[in-house]
């Protein structure tokens, strides 16, 4: 017991003396806690600048432009005389999209002819593109419904007009993400991913630093336990005060999160120790893990459905704790699922922890026999 206490003190003092690891663990956790959610503070795209190319210049075309400006997604910032002018102004950054109202709009509507409106948006940003198309389509559909109802009333079919206007009542209740915002969708998963990556970097840096130094028996296990304890506390910080600060849902009980993430952090810690033993240069640890972040994040299954990923990628992700950890946390914390919904993922994480533990034991014995 005395030797165990000495190992704890030794490892803690070594951790405090390593500035790079301390900056990654504590500085990185605090930095990302407030930096990452900032781009999603507005939750959804609103008041996007749009130009109007009105070739009809009628009362009806002006009404359509007014209705588009009244949608929460759009803000009309000007009018262009031609499509070429509108395109040039969009390229200059003055607007993100345009609405083209064709010539003879009013005449064709009065004659009962079908009219085709032109919609365009900056496709380089899919979320902005979708919001602009949604706003313009909503304005056009509302104006079309108004014209149809007015025509039915003029034909003496008022009762039919009322039925067509609202044939049934619709009650929309979004589940899991009531605000339909990006923070609730993205931030909880990325918080856990940040914990995953910084834990790998911290243990990787510590491992590379001690490749040529003798270690006391049991020091590696104490290091893993120390990092796991720290990251369980970081989890309470991220999914407690941070989530409350941003107004995100916290449906999981703290004990549920900690119990589920216990094998997750065990597996990640052992993986970090393995990386620290394989990478030869300390300055390469952070770039390697950072460069793997983007493809790893897209393969976790919350941005792109796992069922649509290629089989080789799904096979690789089944061996890594990232996907199972994020999916389980989203089910518990965002969807409000009970423990039975995450039990298979929990067993999967324990299997990965046992696998990495076995690899660590084999590697330790191999090194001892080699020396």
pLDDT of the residue at 84:
86
Asked if residue 1 has pLDDT above 60, the reply is: no
SS3 100: strand
If one compares 177 and 347, the residue with the highest pLDDT of the two is 347
pLDDT of the residue at 179:
63
Whether 238 contacts 33, CB under 8 Å: yes
Q: How confident is the model at residue 17 (pLDDT cuts 50, 70, 90)?
A: confident
pLDDT of the residue at 371:
65
Q: Which CATH class name applies to 48-165?
A: alpha beta
pLDDT digits (tens, 9 = 90+) for 308-357: 888 898 898 989 999 999 999 999 988 888 899 999 999 999 999 999 99
DSSP 3-state percent helix, strand, coil across the chain (nearest 5): 70, 5, 25
Evaluated on CA atoms 304, 307, 311, 315, the torsion sign reads: positive
Output the pTM of the full model. Answer: 0.74
Residues of the chain within CATH 3.40.1710.10 domain(s) are: 48-165
d(CA 320, CA 309): 15
Q: Tell me how far CA of residue 5 lies from CA of 130, 203, 213, 219, 233, in angstroms.
A: 58, 20, 21, 11, 21
Whether 182 contacts 247, CB under 8 Å: no
Span of 48-57, 94-103, 162-171, 243-252 with lowest mean pLDDT: 162-171
């Amino acid at each position: 017991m005395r030797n165990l206490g000495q190992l704890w003190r030794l490892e803690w003092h070594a951790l405090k003396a390593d500035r790079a690891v301390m900056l990654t663990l504590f500085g990185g956790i605090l930095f990302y806690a407030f930096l990452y959610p900032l781009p999603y503070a507005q939750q959804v795209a609103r008041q996007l600048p749009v130009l109007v190319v009105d070739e009809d210049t009628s009362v009806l075309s002006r009404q359509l432009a007014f209705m588009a400006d009244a949608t929460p997604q759009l803000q009309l910032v000007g009018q262009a005389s031609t499509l070429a002018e509108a395109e040039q102004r969009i390229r200059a950054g003055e607007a993100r999209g345009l609405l083209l109202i064709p010539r003879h709009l009013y005449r064709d509507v009065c004659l009962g002819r079908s009219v085709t409106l032109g919609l365009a948006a900056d496709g380089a940003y899919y979320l902005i593109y979708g919001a602009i198309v949604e706003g313009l389509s909503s304005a056009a559909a509302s104006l079309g419904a108004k014209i149809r109802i007015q025509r039915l009333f003029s034909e003496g079919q008022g009762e039919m007009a009322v039925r067509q206007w609202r044939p049934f009542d619709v009650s929309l209740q979004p589940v899991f993400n009531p605000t339909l915002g990006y923070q609730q969708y993205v931030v909880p998963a990325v918080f856990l991913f940040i914990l995953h990556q910084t834990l790998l970097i911290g243990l990787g840096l510590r491992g590379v630093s001690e490749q040529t130094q003798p270690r006391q028996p049991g020091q590696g296990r104490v290091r893993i336990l120390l990092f796991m304890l720290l990251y369980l506390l970081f989890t309470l910080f991220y999914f407690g005060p941070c989530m409350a600060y941003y107004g995100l849902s916290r449906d999981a009980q703290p004990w549920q999160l900690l119990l589920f993430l216990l094998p997750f952090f065990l597996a990640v810690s052992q993986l970090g120790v393995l990386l620290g033993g394989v990478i030869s240069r300390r300055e390469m640890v952070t770039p390697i893990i950072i460069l793997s972040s983007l493809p790893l994040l897209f393969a976790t299954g919350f941005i792109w459905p796992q069922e649509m990923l290629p089989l080789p990628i799904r096979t690789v992700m089944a061996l890594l704790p990232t996907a199972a950890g994020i999916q389980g946390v989203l089910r518990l914390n965002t969807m409000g699922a009970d423990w039975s919904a995450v039990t298979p993922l929990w067993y999967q994480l324990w299997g990965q922890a046992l696998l990495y533990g076995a690899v660590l034991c084999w590697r330790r014995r191999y090194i001892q026999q080699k020396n």
